A and B are shown apart, each in its own frame.
Chain A
Amino acid sequence: MKDVSFGQYYPVESPVHRLDPRVKLLSVVLYIVGIFFIQKFIGFAVVALFLLVAIACSRVPLMKVLRSVRAVLFLVLFTAIISVLFYSGGGEEPLWAWGIIKIYKGGLLSAARMALRLVFLVLGPSLLTLTTTPVELTDGLESLLKPLALIKLPVHELAIIMSIALRLIPTLTEETEKIMNAQKARCADFDTGNIFKRAKSLIPILIPLFVSSFRRADELADAMDSRCYRGAKGRTRMRVLKLRFRDFVAAFVMLALFFVILVLRYNWFGLGFINLLV
């Protein structure tokens, strides 16, 4: 069984892997916002260049990163086709027409932009999850959200729930397999019949799974209490996140990228060549 708790983490040593998870999380947020500001193809080219450099630094094989697009491929194609077909082309001559279907140059361009935007939206976060373990992500999120504890948001509780959930995924998967095998040994059939029949056959798996999860939760609570747990009160952490020089470099690169994207969109400096680009 694949180790789910590591998600799709790709375990190699690289400068990108070693970055502070908080910097990586904020970078991804900035990256996503940036993608929405892009209107010209040159903007996508800049982002593509940035991604290629980042992937090269991360030592994750390019194909591994690109594979994440597969999950949204259908969505990309679907939105692209729809936007080509429904483009009304303000007074523009259609490139090609067949009955009510008219295809305009503008429609093709906007569909391409939409598709690129979706693809890039998937690529950035997937580089994050390929180079950061779920545990690091949880730590990073807890640290980033810490200021919200001031407005009584239970940040520590959320973090510990996430970490326990991560820890329990493999245990529960194993347990599900065990229960399924036990039911199969008594001639349960999970693979035939229509969808309702199959859904119904899951009940004898779900009920024992629920019951044992509650028992587990109870025992885990006792074990946590026994180990002096009393919530966030007086609790410290072994791993303290610390920003290093490389984190500042990464943050600077991200801000530079964001700045370039904005300049390409709004042409603040009145650079003539930007208006010539598509």
Chain B
Amino acid sequence: MLQLSDVKYVYNAGAEDEKTALGGVSLSVKEGEFVALVGHNGSGKSTLAKLFNGLILPTEGSVRVRGMDTADKKNLFDIRKTVGVVFQNPDNQMVASIIEDDVAFGPENLGLPSAEISERVQWALESVGMQDHRRGTPFRLSGGQKQRIAIAGVLAIKPRVMVLDESTAMLDPIGREEVMKVITRLNREEHMTVIMITHFMEEAALADRIIVMRNGLVAGEGGKEIFSNRELIESAGLELPLAARVAMRLREKGLKIDGDITLPEELVDALCR
């Protein structure tokens, strides 16, 4: 679905303040996968988000979406139809002052007939549970609700891949949970490929595969077992999910806990066994 081969990205190349954000990253994402990209601030993970749909082009190497190279301008429209990106700040993603108009922005750009746009808007708002606000304004909504509108705006384009670039970072815990529920449902039920860029390990723990970024390079990747590699996680400037930390401390104290523990439910199960 998505293929990055040896991607390097340098900000302000050639200038005095040149800064290498990515120093040769290769990774691929399969259809229907839920991948979490984790890393410390400045590890290059947000640069990746912009590379995925051709907002920026790699200094070296190539990014391919279903075989289409993002470096070819002719592909960009189709690539952006395939890869939808939700950014960090919901306020900076809205173009209209009425929710349905904002969600309609994407399908309008695709040039769809008006009846189909309206259907897609309804479907997208239902998918994120915001259909009751269709004719309202986004200004009075909570952060979590606004971000769900932003997700609906991307969904209405019906992309195959949804990239979330720190989309929960500005939200309170309730808002984060709302958004994560929507995302996991889209992945499980609609088989949407999800790439979640985050530094909340609790969120990363929901993914099928976790890619750890450090200083513009992939430091490691794997399933949930990656959380037992404490050195890797900590060297990337990250913290283990709370449940994993509790399990680790309990093991240190001599309690016998089997399996990889990353989610609170798993910890409860293991302790009550």
A-side residues, CB < 8 A to B, are 3, 5-6, 134-135, 160, 163-164, 166-167, 170-171, 216, 219-220, 222-230, 234-240
Q: Which residues of B are found within 8 Å of A163, using beta-carbon distances?
A: 95-97, 101
Q: Is the CB of B106 within 8 A of A219?
A: no
Q: Is the CB of B80 within 8 A of A237?
A: no
Q: Is the CB of B94 within 8 A of A227?
A: no
Q: Is the CB of B96 within 8 A of A226?
A: no
Partner of A238, one of B87, B101, B150: B101
Q: Which residues of A are found within 8 Å of B150, using beta-carbon distances?
A: 223
**B153 in the interface (beta carbon within 8 A):** yes
Q: Is the CB of B112 within 8 A of A227?
A: no
Q: Is the CB of B113 within 8 A of A220?
A: no
- Given that A135-B101, A167-B96, A222-B55 are contacting pairs, would A238 and B114 also be in contact in the complex, using a CB cutoff of 8 Å? yes
- Classify the interface of chain A: helix, strand, loop or mixed: helix
**B243 in the interface (beta carbon within 8 A):** no
Q: Which residues of B are found within 8 Å of A230, using beta-carbon distances?
A: 77, 109
Q: Is the CB of A5 within 8 A of B137?
A: yes
Q: Is the CB of A167 within 8 A of B121?
A: no
**B121 to A, closest residue via Cβ:** A238
**B192 in the interface (beta carbon within 8 A):** no
Q: Which residues of B are found within 8 Å of A226, using beta-carbon distances?
A: 53, 55, 80, 84-85, 87, 154
Quote the shortest CB–CB distance from A213 to chain B (angstroms).
11
B172-183 interface mask toward A, CB cutoff 8 Å, 1 = contact, 0 = none? 000000000000
Q: Is the CB of B95 within 8 A of A167?
A: yes
Bound Cα distance from A166 to B96, whole angstroms? 8
Interface size on B, as a range, is 35 or more
Q: Is the CB of A170 within 8 A of B139?
A: yes
- Known contacts A5-B137, A220-B93, A234-B109; can you find 18 more A-B pairs with CB under 8 A? A135-B97, A163-B96, A166-B97, A167-B95, A167-B96, A171-B91, A219-B89, A223-B87, A223-B150, A224-B105, A226-B53, A226-B80, A226-B154, A228-B110, A234-B110, A236-B113, A238-B100, A238-B104
- Interface of chain B residues 67 through 102 with chain A (CB within 8 A): 77, 80-81, 84-85, 87, 89, 91-98, 100-101
Quote the shortest CB–CB distance from A188 to chain B (angstroms).
25
Q: Is the CB of B106 within 8 A of A228?
A: yes
15 pairs across A/B with beta carbons < 8 Å?
A: A5-B97, A135-B97, A163-B96, A167-B95, A167-B97, A220-B92, A225-B55, A227-B80, A227-B84, A227-B105, A228-B157, A234-B109, A234-B111, A237-B114, A238-B101
Q: Which residues of B are found within 8 Å of A222, using beta-carbon distances?
A: 50, 55, 87
**B218 in the interface (beta carbon within 8 A):** no
B104-125 interface mask toward A, CB cutoff 8 Å, 1 = contact, 0 = none? 1111111111100110010000
**B88 to A, closest residue via Cβ:** A219
Bound Cα distance from A236 to B113, whole angstroms? 7
Q: Which residues of A are found within 8 Å of B100, using beta-carbon distances?
A: 238
- Classify the interface of chain B: helix, strand, loop or mixed: helix
Bound Cα distance from A186 to B15, whole angstroms? 37
Partner of B95, one of A3, A220, A228, A237: A220
Bound Cα distance from A163 to B98, whole angstroms? 10
Bound Cα distance from A223 to B95, whole angstroms? 9
Bound Cα distance from A166 to B91, whole angstroms? 13
Bound Cα distance from A134 to B96, whole angstroms? 11
Q: Is the CB of A228 within 8 A of B81?
A: yes
Q: Which residues of B are found within 8 Å of A225, using beta-carbon distances?
A: 55, 80
Bound Cα distance from A134 to B50, whole angstroms? 33
Quote the shortest CB–CB distance from B15 to chain A (angstroms).
19
Q: Is the CB of B112 within 8 A of A223?
A: no
Q: Is the CB of A229 within 8 A of B55?
A: no
Q: Which residues of A are found within 8 Å of B96, using beta-carbon distances?
A: 135, 163, 167
Bound Cα distance from A224 to B77, whole angstroms? 12
Q: Is the CB of B109 within 8 A of A228?
A: yes
Quote the shortest CB–CB distance from B77 to chain A (angstroms).
6
Quote the shortest CB–CB distance from A130 to chain B (angstroms).
18
Q: Which residues of A are found within 8 Å of B118, using beta-carbon distances?
A: 238
Bound Cα distance from A262 to B29, whole angstroms? 72
**B52 to A, closest residue via Cβ:** A226
**B107 to A, closest residue via Cβ:** A238
Partner of B87, one of A164, A219, A236: A219
Q: Is the CB of A229 within 8 A of B109?
A: yes
The 8 closest A-B pairs by CB, nearest first: A219-B92, A223-B93, A238-B104, A238-B117, A234-B111, A227-B106, A228-B109, A167-B97
